Amino acid sequence: MSAMHDSAMNNVYHQVLTRLLSYFSRAERTALQLLIQRLLVAAGGPERMEHFKVLLAHTGTQDSCYSLALLRAAQLSIATRSPATFHLRVATLRMGTTTPAIMDSIHRSYGALFVYDDPRVEVLMVDNREVLPFSHLPALSDAGREWNRYSLLLLGHLRETGSPYEACDDGYLATGEFYGQMSRWQGGVDALVGGATARQQRQFLAGLARAAQRANLPTLAEPALSMDGLLNSLELLDNDCYHALYAEQKTVAWRPQADFDARRGTTFIDIQDLVTGNAQERWPLLNEFFGLQAEDAGLALRENDYASALLSAHCRGLQASYLEGQPYERGFAHYVQRGLLLMRKRGVPEPICQQASAPYDNPLALAERRIEANAELQQTLGLSETQLVCLLFSPFVGQGAGLEKFLRRCHPGMLVAMGELHKALQGEAAPEQVMHWMVDVSGLPINLMRVLYRRRPVLEAGVPVSSGGDVVQSLNALSARP
């Protein structure tokens, strides 16, 4: 019965591979062969391929789906010509902004590639530092949503005074830690595969460097940051990037703790040169094979992998309005225009660009978009516009250096209570109504506001980003300043 089952499944996998390859152009078939060669070299030869395991992070974006398609094609192609093929671990980090639509896109990609029943493929997700089998059905846990919200606010408040805020840029630190932990899960992996473009890699490494500075991570030797050495750096940080950020506050441990092992020598396999091509040519694969829907087109407009285009545009609009003395509409429109420019540079088909920008094309509808953005802000992150504006001002850090400016601009009626606010932030007794107001306006509990009060904003000097090397050398600037 087992032999019959294996034969039937092999026929299914062959059909999946045949259909997948039918969507590949000649250039993509060449790229596939180059990928197979890279994997064989990394594994140490065909005879060791059976014991080789690679990790891919799946974010639900079109690029992420495409990278998975190429890896799955390599896995199944090797299986047709060898006794065994490599193992694939695909994992998704769930954050507040990982919406049901994103989870559904990931689920559709798994279904199309027939990975759920393949013992050579693990599909996992992480919710509040707990590793679970992937499922697109359950909502993010309440504890996970709270962890995401507090981390977002703490890291956002600690940015350099007056610097622009990139929506949900706490995701860079969360992703770095996620890479480190998933490379240690149940025996670990041999390689982390990345399909991000060179620009996206630089954006991620720079974002990680900024967030790590704010998280007050230990100083590491020599400022050089690269994807090659990322996991080594995270291991030196004991695979917990948040313990210093929360100071004496207790954080939840990664779970199940017994399933995490010492990481084996994980390398980084960069496939961006293989997956970087004309996005228009790959759209039939994404649309017809994976079934990505029109609403997924908006994912390509995003500033990063952690915030929707609507939230990012809303954030830019608020910064223009409150910090730059410009209309909300100007900041909002600037974000959308910049996103469209980047999409067209990547060769995204014009119909997809139009679909992505259509909700924002009518200036008269921006008031409605703002309402929708605030609804999404509340639903995904548990934040109000008032709390987001508070984050933009960062009024608590540096012993409340920006508190008066924030009150004058946004809450002039509370200027009379500024002395009581400072007392509360210093840990002294303060009126209960003052404490409640602080929690309501910031979205943070008073103990975490006091953590911010004791910290200075991080001066984010540029962290050199190299194309290679070891990030054990990486994060000297990550927390050289308190």
Task: Encode pLDDT of 412-426 as tens digits.
Answer: 999 999 999 999 999
Tell me: the pLDDT tens digits for 311-352?
A: 999 999 999 999 999 999 999 989 888 888 888 887 777 877
Q: Say how far residue 432 (Cα) sits from the centre of its chain.
A: 37
238-280: pLDDT as tens digits? 678 898 899 878 889 999 988 988 777 789 999 988 886 666 6
pLDDT of the residue at 138: 94
pLDDT tens figures, 429-440 = 999 999 999 999
Between residues 323 and 163, the one the model is more confident about: 323
CA 119/CA 123 separation, integer angstroms:
10
Find out whether 225 and 464 touch, Cβ atoms under 8 Å: yes
Where along the chain do its domains lie?
A: 2-275, 297-386, 393-442
Tell whether the model's pLDDT for residue 177 goes beyond 90: yes
What is the Cα–Cα distance from 54 to 335, expressed in whole angstroms?
36
- Six-digit token string for 473: 């050398």
User: In sequence order, what are the beta bridge partners of 129?
Assistant: none
> Cα–Cα distance between 87 and 478 in angstroms, integer?
34
Number of Cβ within 10 Å of residue 260's Cβ equals 19
- Dihedral of alpha carbons 45, 114, 6, 15, sign: negative
Are 127 and 144 in contact by the 8 Å Cβ rule? The answer is yes
**Which of helix, strand or coil describes residue 136?**
coil
The structure's pTM equals 0.89
Does 473 or 282 have the greater pLDDT score?
Answer: 282
Helix axes 366-376, 309-322, angle to 10 degrees: 110
Contact 271, 194 (CB under 8 A): yes
Residue 316 identity: R
In 158-227, where does DSSP find H-type helix? 171-182, 198-214
Name which of 356, 271, 353, 307 is nearest 71 in CA terms: 271
Please list, in sequence order, all residues whose beta carbon lies within 8 angstroms of the beta carbon of residue 258, skipping any fewer than 6 positions away.
Answer: none
Residue 89, token pair as written in the block: 């671990």
Which residue type sits at 236? Answer: L
Q: Tokens 């969507």 belong to which residue?
A: 23
Q: How far apart are the first and last CA of the chain?
A: 64
pLDDT, residue 276, reads: 62
Is the sign of the CA dihedral 300, 304, 308, 314 positive or negative?
Answer: negative
